[in-house]
Amino acid sequence: YHSPTLTSMRDVSPEQIRVTTIVELCAHHQPLRKIFATNPAAATNPPPLTQAAHHQPALDGIVVAGQILRCDKLRLVIAFRVIMADEKNSPNRQVISLQAISQNFLGALQRQFDLLAFNLAATQSIEEEKYSSMCSLTHAMPVANAHMPFDAMKTYAHGLIMRQALNDTLSLAAACMDNCHLLCTLIAHKAAMEANPKETNELVGKKQNAFVHSAIQDKFEVFEKDFNITSSLEDAITTLAIALRILVQRNGVVSAEDVDEDGELVFEFKTVQIIKSPTPEGKPEIRLADTRRAFKIGDTIDLTNSEILSLNITTADFFHRLFKAVDSFGAKILGKDGGSNEGK
């Protein structure tokens, strides 16, 4: 696998590997999120380094054990011991922070927003002549009789962009929750980790592995049960999973099993409202506002361009609240003023 800072695991020593790079990979590649799960078996029988370089199953050769160093506001710092393949006898301590996680996931969310805006702008501005010209570049088509006309293709492309946006947003939200769950689990087991690191390490690994493979609704339940962390945006995030299932299984047609007691499937969005026009010297005064879009049984889910982009604004607000809640939980466990259990 590759990242902006690492070309191949084969080219570097464990001392050169930064845990923040692993966090960055997790932000973009959902299958790699389990890289943080502890695998005690890999510590005793790690794969060769060359195998770990290019095959995902061998990533279990990276064994992580955590210990709390300090906790400042949005800077929950944990020291990790990284044992990389045949370097297991030379463990290297690395540092990861809540701030680093927030920067990686919010950065990934911004890149997703930019790509969405680019794709939506492209589909909105494309002309039929350009579409026809591009289709004729190869002088042939796989099945010419099935070729989509211009207007049908625009509708189809919009649907694909909407589906991909829902999937990517949901994947980022789940990956972010996975990383925050690991931090909270290590915090909760701080004393046990110091007293009996081997057994505690195994326990943390099992909990993290179960959490990573759980449904999005179950993740919220675990946060509330284990850490007393709740989110007012839970319904907004879980609706994304329901909507994605509807799009994949029934081409977006809402059925009775998808709606609430009022007979609706409700999307909740965070939108930005301008409450004071900008002056020549400054920026406009804005605020986040709650908006909703309801679909009834038999309706087909079809979000506007603005609503698709607002998925990212909603998720960004969810991230900020989650990061503050994790910071509050860590401060509370470590004997500091933890504040409320949800970021405001």
Kindly list the strands in the beta sheet with 92-97, ordered across the sheet, starting from the edge strand earlier in the chain.
62-72, 75-84, 92-97
Residue closest to 295 by CA, chosen among 271, 326, 322, 259: 259
Is 128 a residue whose pLDDT tops 90? Answer: yes
- Reported as a single tens digit per residue, the pLDDT across 149-186 is 999 999 999 999 999 999 999 999 999 999 999 999 99
Which of the pair, 12 or 114, is modelled with greater confidence?
A: 114
What is the helix (H) or strand (E) element at residue 321, kind and residue range?
helix 305-333
Local confidence band at 334 (pLDDT 50, 70, 90 cut-offs): confident
Per-residue burial over 76-101, b if 16 or more Cβ lie within 10 Å, else e, is bbbebebbbbebbeebbebebbbbbb
How many whole angstroms separate alpha carbon 90 and alpha carbon 271?
50
Which of the pair, 57 or 179, is modelled with greater confidence?
A: 179
The pTM (predicted TM-score) of the whole model is 0.70
Give me the pLDDT at residue 41, please. Answer: 42
Helix axis angle for 305-333 and 98-125, nearest 10°, is 180
Is 332 a residue whose pLDDT tops 60? Answer: yes
The answer to whether the beta carbons of residues 29 and 67 sit under 8 Å apart is no
